[in-house]
Amino acid sequence: MKVIIVALGALLFALCYSASARQVAKTHRIGYLTAASLTAVSPRIEAFRHGLRELGYVEGKNILIEYRAADGNFDRLPGLATELVRLNVDLIVTGGPAATRPAKDATATIPIVMAQDNDPVKNGFAISLARPGRNITGLSTIASEISGKRLELLKEIVPNLARVAVFGNSNEPGNLQALKETQLAADALKLIIQHLDVRDAKEIEAVFRNAHKAGQARV
């Protein structure tokens, strides 16, 4: 929910609304771009709508939302981003870095609000966290830096921990850096890391099954 609230704040800034505004004369159009399916992110979408309603913006009344979902097929994202630009939306909301990049490539003028990104500066979405300097704003999760800390906490909870399966999506910008941070922590803690690449939601079940078999084989 914090992600949605911060994104909404950036959204209002991008549209140059007054903090006290509750009604608008023009019906603004928002593009919502996600790499997942709309069903998979339905709780986030509902939270997004709820936050808008709290601020006086009701979908279908004084604001319209154009939803574009790649359904796990990342190759579709550039085309979907281009569709939103052609619709001349007032701004584009992206669910994560996989959607933010094609949106960035599609427009340098339409404001883009990203719900989260692990390193917007390194990924080229912002010049700096203090002054983004481009048409992109939103929230940074600093995921890469805390990846190692998560492993440290896991070791504290499970002292006899020896092997850890790490799931990641190589299509996601910043995933490689997060893996490096995790590996550094694993080396210090004398843990064995098994990296498993999951590039599509359909692969999750098979990857979990393979990870389980690999763990049993090493017992």
* DSSP-derived secondary structure for 129-142: SS---SSEEEEE--
The pLDDT score that the predictor gives to residue 143 is: 65
Domain boundary among 109, 140, 171: 140
**Residues 106 and 168 grouped into a single domain:** no
Residues 135 and 149 in one domain: no
The domain boundary residue, chosen from 140, 167, 183: 140
Question: Does 127 lie in the same domain as 88?
Answer: yes
114 shares its domain with 192 = no
- Which of 89, 109, 140 represents a domain boundary (last residue)? 140
Cβ-Cβ contacts under 8 Å for 202 (sequence gap 6 or more):
72
Query: Which tens digit of pLDDT belongs to each residue from 83-109?
Result: 999 999 999 999 888 899 999 999 999
Which CATH number fits the domain that encloses residue 127?
3.40.50.2300
Q: Which two tokens stand for residue 130?
A: 């203090």
Do 135 and 90 belong to one domain? Answer: yes
**Domain carrying residue 168:** 143-217
Looking at the structure, do residues 78 and 158 belong to the same domain, yes or no? no
| Statement to judge: residues 92 and 134 lie in one domain | yes
* Per-chain mean pLDDT for the chain: 82
**Which stretch of 60-64, 70-74, 114-118, 202-206 has the lowest confidence by average pLDDT?**
202-206
What percentage of the chain has pLDDT greater than the value 90?
A: 42
Task: Please answer whether residues 86 and 92 qualify as being in contact, where contact means their C-beta atoms are separated by less than 8 angstroms.
Answer: no
pTM equals 0.63
Tell whether 63 and 133 lie within a shared domain: yes
Residue 115 and residue 176 share a domain = no
C-beta separation of 39 from 70 below 8 A:
no
